[in-house]
Amino acid sequence: MNVLLDNLSLYGDGLLGTIELTVFASLLALVLGFVMAAFRVAPVGSLRAVGTVWVTVLRNTPLTLLFFAVVLGLPRFGLVLPFKLFAILALGCYTSAFICEAVRSGINTVPVGQGEAARSLGMTFPQTLGDIVLPQAFRSVIPPIGSTLIALAKNSAIAGAFSVTELLGVYKPLNELGYSIIWTFVWIAVGYLIVTLSISAIFNLLEKHLGVAR
């Protein structure tokens, strides 16, 4: 217990860092994921190809490798940003591939009649997708997006190893100060549970209010 009370600000900073990474990377992942999903069902062949390549490559890239390439590689091009921004970029791009797949499978659950009706009213592809299909698809993809974002929160631990302030990184100074390492990790675990359980609570709420009744 002492470990937590003595170092409340350290733990607080770590938790805030993890939350910050999760929120910003989630926003990036959601935007990119929806755009890529739209690309993947678009009538233009080259856009479909871009979407497919994006998803296939990123889904099969180890996140550590992506971090390695982004955090240590981009500065070689003269692109020097704070590590936190690099971490958000890597996490967001990686997760967007999974969001894209979730959204695409959600689009497939919308009854064909919806798209057909929209078309027969003379709607264009962006209108059909944006006004008719995606809003309905969104309701059925709330649970898979929720679990993807929980995975993102857990993956943000990797950022700690690339000198970004977050929860897992807290163990290092505490270890040097000589605190009980087991308890240090117990409180880190509790921190992660707080983050992941909050995300799942938010998504349960969303599911309850917006989800498709089945």
- Separation of alpha carbons 4 and 179, rounded Å: 10
Are 3 and 180 contacting, i.e. CB atoms less than 8 angstroms apart? Answer: yes
> What is the rounded distance in angstroms from the CA atom of residue 109 to the CA atom of residue 22?
28
The upper half-sphere exposure of residue 19, i.e. CA atoms within 13 Å in the direction of its Cβ, equals: 13
CB of residue 40 to another protein, shortest distance in Å: 8
Q: Shortest distance, CB of residue 174 to another protein, whole angstroms?
A: 10
Cα separation, 121 vs 119, whole angstroms: 5
Residue number, 31 or 201, with CB nearest to another protein: 201
CB of 17 to another protein, least distance (A): 14
Judged by beta carbon, residue 13 or residue 204, the one nearer another protein is 204
Nearest Cα to 3, choosing from 155, 211, 193, 189? 189
Question: How far is it, in rounded angstroms, from Cα 67 to Cα 164?
Answer: 12
Residue number, 84 or 191, with CB nearest to another protein = 191
Closest distance between another protein and the C-beta of residue 51, in Å? 11
User: What's the min distance (Å) between Cβ of 84 and another protein?
Assistant: 18
Q: Which is nearer to another protein, 88 or 102 (CB)?
A: 102
d(CA 191, CA 194): 5
Closer Cβ to another protein, 6 or 59, answer by number: 59
